[in-house]
Amino acid sequence: MLDAAVAVFSQRGYHAASMDDIAERAGISKPMVYAYLGAKEDVFLACVQREATRLMEGIAGVIDPARRPHDQLCAGLRAYLTCVGEHRDGWSVLYRQARVQEPFAGELAEIRGRMIEAVTALLGGVLNAEGPEVPAAEVSAMAHALVGAGESLADWLVDHPDESPEATAARLMNFIWMGAANLLRGHTWRPASQPSP
């Protein structure tokens, strides 16, 4: 029944979706939907919670604290994009609808906060594994940039059904990681080396 609801919310949007649509898609009567899940807002909240839990558990499932922070970060990113790619309707409900709608937006912001915390910890582990300690502000800024890039790319992935999640994860690793790898070697971008006409 939740699968049917997620599909309907994803395709029609929260406001346009009706309990009739959900009942029809689930192949049950409307009173049954009310009986099991409650009103539309309750159904939507149940969808948000199911999809958010699936995403968080999908990531947590591949994070092995015994591995190097770098490997944990890569595995987490790949799991994140794979989960989004396999449940595009779920992403649409979370990111395109719940995130832009109170009272669901607060729940999403909290999940995002937890992701940033986890990424900050892993990134700190990666960056501090070699050489002098990277300032906490630098790590925190990078973690925010990485999470923002990941979300935006996940949203892009949803609109590109032919693209594999693995390829998208590799794109982000290329784009971000090769940059961080350079930083670790002390190579930084310098505005002065880019002459302006």
Query: Is 171 one of the binding residues for a second copy (CB under 8 A)?
Result: yes
Residue 151: closest CA among 97, 112, 103: 112
Q: Which is nearer to a second copy, 27 or 188 (CB)?
A: 188
Please check whether residue 10 is in contact with residue 89, taking contact to mean a CB–CB distance below 8 angstroms: yes
One character per residue 39-58, x = contact with a second copy (rule: CB under 8 A): --------------------
Task: Map tokens 């309750």 to a residue.
Answer: 42
One character per residue 11-40, x = contact with a second copy (rule: CB under 8 A): ----x-------------------------
- What whole-number distance in Å separates Cα of residue 158 and Cα of residue 33? 28
Distances (CA, A) of 56 to 5, 27, 155: 20, 29, 17
- What whole-number distance in Å separates Cα of residue 158 and Cα of residue 64? 27
Query: Is 3 one of the binding residues for a second copy (CB under 8 A)?
Result: no
Tokens of 98: 């719940």
Query: Is 142 one of the binding residues for a second copy (CB under 8 A)?
Result: yes
- What whole-number distance in Å separates Cα of residue 161 and Cα of residue 26? 24
Minimum separation from the CB atom of position 138 to a second copy (A): 7
Tokens of 124: 């700190």
Q: Which of 51, 80, 147, 165 binds a second copy (CB under 8 A)?
A: 147
Q: Which of 67, 128, 129, 136 binds a second copy (CB under 8 A)?
A: 67
Q: Which is nearer to a second copy, 27 or 103 (CB)?
A: 103
Residues in the site for a second copy, rule: CB under 8 A? 15, 66-68, 70-71, 74, 99-102, 105, 137-138, 140-142, 144-153, 155-156, 160, 163, 168, 170-183, 187-189, 191, 194, 196-197
